Amino acid sequence: APAPVSGPSLLPGGPATAKYGPLVAAFAFGVFEGWLLARLGHLRRELAKARRG
């Protein structure tokens, strides 16, 4: 049977990736979520403006 391996050790970059990878992923997700919310807010304002005018 193959020896069990842990997940983070399979990532390229070694221990730094295992340590900071989740932090970078959370930051990237937060940036994307903020961009998406801003985009949806802008779209909602544009639709409301189009309905009025």
d(CA 11, CA 49): 48
pLDDT band at 23 (very low <50, low <70, confident <90, very high): very high
| 8-22 pLDDT tens trace | 555 677 888 889 999
Look at the chain and count its residues: 53
What does the block give as tokens for 31?
Answer: 């940036």
For residue 29, the model assigns a pLDDT of 98
Statement: the pTM of the whole predicted model exceeds 0.75: no
**What region, left, alpha or beta, does residue 13 occupy, with left being phi > 0 and alpha being psi -120 to 50 degrees?**
left
CB 11 within 8 Å of CB 17: yes
To the nearest whole percent, how much of the chain has pLDDT over 90?
62
A 10 A CB-CB count for 8 gives 14
CA 39 to chain centre: 16
**What pLDDT is recorded for position 14?**
82
